[in-house]
Chains A and B, each alone.
Chain A
């Protein structure tokens, strides 16, 4: 073995250093895609492995030698026809991944133990009615004990660890009564086995663990799936930066490697990789993801630009001014962390119930023990009855009540394009009574369109279009598109003055479109939510532009208005916000909100006792997303907002927000029903246990049937009627 290993590593050295690369390939859908990618990459010289993972849409590539670079691999992928994005598996591997594997192993062990112990238990149960002799009975008990004890010690760990953690924090969670019941049932059964007694509960304790582990594992796996899908969405845009070297060459570096003073090239349509100042080029910057402002801002040498904004028109060269640690982003992260602390106090529903349930059950068990003693039973008999109470109340149905519903609900939402990222997201979403929306990118699409052009004659429209078509300025493009029904006239002397506007001549008359200064209008200098047009010496006319409201925004807000208070918080200008709020049913509208204003607003709502759902997409929303009771973010949102949000919804519409709220509300109802059922079950079983009628067979049947009913009830989510 050692020899083989050393040979292998020797071979590697001979071929040069080993490299590996992980890629996200969202376009991979079927066996054909996998084959294309794997074969295509294998054709490259030196590739030792190329393996696709269709579930996660990721590809792992390994190669020897330095003949190939990451870039070659990416180019080969492009040649085959797939858009691939490299990612760092270390960064994306969640702790949950490891946790899920541990749960799965524990589940396998518990399943094995449960099946084999059941083999003996069924024999014992049927043997009690027939002719099993005591020696065989004891042999079976001992064998059960030998399987159960290591299995409980291993598979019970997730519960024991969590219970100890809760107790250390002087709190109770569902794992406390679960751990106690499992340990007591196993301990008492062992004691009975040694004593040569008749009633052992090994099967109950191990199958309890098995059922609960299934629920937990499915829950965590569903969340992992959602999180990995969310990570894929995000890293699609984890762009590399194009760093300009002093000799004029361009090298591709990771954003993390940029240092203050570096010069980077930002292509038209590309994202600004780091905070910096423009040194060369003129363009417009779409900062809607960062500031929430819907209209693009002009960028010229000297303008400060922020990481994450989009360069719309022409290539820019940007001098990086800030490293990662002190960029705008870092400031937002600091605000987010502060906002985060407000959330720590949330206790999940199951744990809230455990806080009442656990002491109640333990008091009942103690009462049973004392009661039987008072009636003259022996200490041993009284103890057996008391433990029977603990076992029968063992919260199998309670432990499953939440996870099974969450699995079904998250699965359903995943199919609807909503990713549930946080463990308690669904529970929190069912709590809400107010909804706060961001404007740009959330309520609106961010695409500009013409709003009003009062008093504009056909003639002026035609001229406006003919002039606008010569420019690539975002506002010009809106004009050109909006007036596309007009013919294009041949204009003379067309000139564009950056930062002001366009001018041209038609039949000797000067036409100007541009800002207020350009057409000599007083008092509107800073208004960029539209464009002025002046023909000859006529009075200039105002054409206002707005961004498009999402198609179903009105319907969504109408729906929400029945049950929730709705707010609009925007970083955009007063005028732009007011214009759009007119068409939509909001209870409150606030414009020009900075990130800290948004947090303050949410804190105020919270202090009034409101439970707020925040829906937002921008960098400026990220702290607010963390400060809200629960939050959602569209898939186009800034990376950090997606990280901050509990839910991510895909698609161009707001409909998923409503669907998620409805699903969460229904899930809450099912969870409560499940709890109700678990209590009903206890109401019947506990008196029997106190009276001493419970046998191991009864316990086993009661426990599995209650788990099955709880699971079946959760399935109703899938049949929820569409509306």
Chain B
């Protein structure tokens, strides 16, 4: 049972990390243009082009 003392905080911490990461990405506008983000993957790096 003592493993729980270790595993539960780890699980919660990882969950919270995911939540914080999501809220951060939301705040930094990464969800503002989902279609654009999908298309941008097709673009070359600026340096490689012309």
**Interface pair A109/B35, CB less than 8 Å apart:** no
Cβ of A115 < 8 Å from any Cβ of B? Answer: yes
Q: Which residues of A contact B46 (CB under 8 A)?
A: 39
CB neighbours of B19 from chain A (8 A): 108-109, 112
Q: List chain B residues, Cβ under 8 A from A52.
A: 33, 36
Q: Are A34 and B43 in contact (CB under 8 A)?
A: yes
User: Please, which residues of chain A bring their CB within 8 A of the CB of B33?
Assistant: 52-56
The answer to whether B47 has its CB under 8 Å from any CB of chain A is no
Interchain CA distance A39-B44 in the complex, whole Å: 12
- In the complex, how many angstroms separate the beta carbon of A404 from the nearest chain B beta carbon? 20
Specify the chain B residue showing the minimal Cβ separation from A42: B46
A39 to B, closest residue via Cβ: B46
Interface 1/0s, chain B 5-47, versus A by CB < 8 A? 0001001100110110011001000011111100111110010
**B15–A53 touching, CB < 8 Å:** no
Q: A112–B32 contact, CB under 8 A?
A: no
Q: Which 7 A-B pairs have the closest CB atoms?
A: A54-B36, A31-B39, A112-B19, A53-B33, A31-B42, A55-B35, A54-B35
- Least Cβ distance of A471 to chain B in Å? 49
Which residues of B sit under 8 angstroms from A101, Cβ to Cβ?
Answer: 26
CB of B39 within 8 A of CB of A115, answer no
Measured between beta carbons, the chain B residues less than 8 angstroms from A109 are: 19
In the assembled complex, how far is the CB of residue B27 from the closest CB belonging to chain A, in whole angstroms?
Answer: 9
| Complex contacts, B42 vs chain A, CB 8 Å | 31
Contact B11 A136 (CB under 8 A): no
Known: A30-B39, A55-B34, A105-B23. A115 touches B15 (CB 8 A): yes
Distance of A80 Cα from B11 Cα, bound (Å): 52
Q: Which of A73-104 contact B (CB under 8 A)?
A: 101, 104
Question: How many angstroms from the CA of A115 to the CA of B33 in the assembled complex?
Answer: 27
CB distance from A102 to the nearest CB of B (A): 11
Cβ-neighbour of A112 out of B8, B16, B31 (below 8 A): B16
Q: Is A15 an interface residue (CB 8 A)?
A: no
CA gap between A34 and B36 in the complex, in Å: 8
Are B15 and A112 in contact, with the CB atoms below 8 A? yes
**Further 7 A-B residue pairs, CB within 8 A, beyond A108-B22, A108-B26, A112-B19:** A31-B39, A31-B42, A53-B32, A53-B36, A54-B33, A109-B19, A143-B8
Given contacts A112-B18, A112-B19, contact A55 B26 (CB under 8 A): no
26 A/B residue pairs, CB under 8 Å, sorted by A:
A31-B42, A31-B43, A34-B36, A34-B43, A35-B43, A52-B36, A54-B36, A54-B39, A55-B34, A55-B35, A56-B33, A104-B26, A104-B31, A105-B26, A108-B19, A108-B22, A112-B16, A112-B18, A112-B19, A116-B12, A116-B15, A119-B11, A133-B1, A136-B4, A139-B4, A143-B8
Asked if B40 and A31 make an inter-chain contact with CB atoms under 8 angstroms apart, the answer reads yes
Which chain A residues lie closer than 8 Å to B43 at the CB level? 31, 34-35
Contact A116 B11 (CB under 8 A): yes
Contacts of A39 in B (CB 8 A): 46
Contacts of B15 in A (CB 8 A): 112, 115-116
Write the chain B residue with the least CB distance to A52. B36
B-binding residues in A (CB < 8 A): 30-31, 34-35, 39, 52-56, 101, 104-105, 108-109, 112, 115-116, 119, 133, 136, 139, 143, 147
Q: How far is the CA of A104 from the CA of B29 in the complex (A)?
A: 13
Residues of B near any A CB (own CB < 8 A): 1, 4, 8, 11-12, 15-16, 18-19, 22-23, 26, 31-36, 39-43, 46, 49
> For A115, what are the chain B residues with a Cβ–Cβ distance below 8 Å?
15
CA distance A694 to B35 in the complex (A): 45
Instruction: Tell me, in angstroms, the Cα distance from A143 to B8 when the chains sit together.
Output: 9
CB pair A55 B1 closer than 8 Å = no
Chain A hits for B31, CB < 8 A? 104
Contacts of B32 in A (CB 8 A): 53, 55
Given A31-B43, A112-B18, A116-B15, the answer on whether A55 and B36 have CB atoms closer than 8 Å is yes
Chain A residues whose CB sits within 8 angstroms of the CB of B22 once the complex forms: 108
With a cutoff of 8 Å between Cβ atoms, the chain B residues found around residue A56 in the complex are 33
Residues of chain A contacted by B11 (CB below 8 angstroms): 116, 119
Q: Chain B nearest CB: distance from A226 CB in Å? A: 15
Collect the chain B residues with CB atoms within 8 Å of residue A112's CB. 15-16, 18-19
Measured CA separation A30–B15 after assembly (Å): 36
CA of A53 to CA of B40 in the docked complex: distance in angstroms? 11
A100 to B17, CA, bound (A): 23
Residues of B within 8 A of A119 (CB): 11
CB distance from B21 to the nearest CB of A (A): 10
Q: In angstroms, how far is the closest chain A Cβ from the Cβ of B40?
A: 6
Chain B, Cβ-Cβ closest to A135: B1
- Smallest beta-carbon distance A97→chain B, Å: 10
A667 to chain B, nearest CB (A): 25
A266 to chain B, nearest CB (A): 37
Q: In this complex, which of A52, A56, A112, A143 has the most chain B Cβ atoms within 10 angstroms of its Cβ?
A: A112
Q: Which of A31, A53, A105, A136 is within 8 Å of B1, CB to CB?
A: A136
Interface centre among A35, A52, A56, A115, by most chain B C-beta atoms within 10 angstroms, is A35
Expressed in whole angstroms, the Cα–Cα distance for A39 and B12 within the complex equals 44
B residues near A133, Cβ cutoff 8 Å: 1
Residues of B within 8 A of A30 (CB): 39
How far apart are the CA atoms of A119 and B19 in the complex, in Å? 16
Question: Which residue of B has the minimal Cβ distance to A30?
Answer: B39
Q: Which residue of A30, A55, A115 has the most chain B CB atoms within 10 A of its CB atom?
A: A55
Let me know if A34 and B1 touch, CB within 8 A. no
Contacts of A116 in B (CB 8 A): 11-12, 15
**Could you say which residues of chain B place their CB within 8 Å of the CB of A54?**
33, 35-36, 39
Residues from chain B with a CB closer than 8 A to the CB of A108 are: 19, 22-23, 26
B3 CB to nearest A CB, Å: 12
**Most chain-A CB neighbours within 10 Å: which of B12, B36, B40?**
B36
Complex CA gap A108/B18 in Å reads 10
Assembled-state Cα–Cα distance A105/B31 (Å) = 12
Residue of B nearest to A35 (CB): B43
Closest Cβ of chain A to B8, distance in Å, is 7
Chain B neighbourhood of A35, CB < 8 A: 43, 49
Query: Measured between alpha carbons, how far is A394 from B9 in the docked complex, in Å?
Result: 32
Bound-state Cα–Cα, A115 to B8, Å: 13
**Closest chain B CB from A70 CB (angstroms):** 23
CA distance A115 to B1 in the complex (A): 22
A109 to B20, CA, bound (A): 9
Closest to B4 in A: A136
**How far is A502 from B12 in the complex, measured between Cα atoms in Å?**
86
Instruction: Kindly provide the distance from the CB of A513 to the nearest chain B CB, expressed in whole angstroms.
Output: 54
A contact residues around B1 at 8 Å (CB): 133, 136
Q: Give the complex CA separation of A35 and B34 in angstroms.
A: 16
Inter-chain contacts of A143 with B (CB < 8 A): 8, 12
B46 (CB) vs chain A CBs: closest residue: A39
- Chain B residues contacting A136 (CB-CB under 8 Å) are 1, 4
**Nearest chain A CB to B42's CB is how many angstroms away?**
4
Please tell me if the beta carbons of B40 and A34 are within 8 angstroms of each other in the complex. Answer: yes
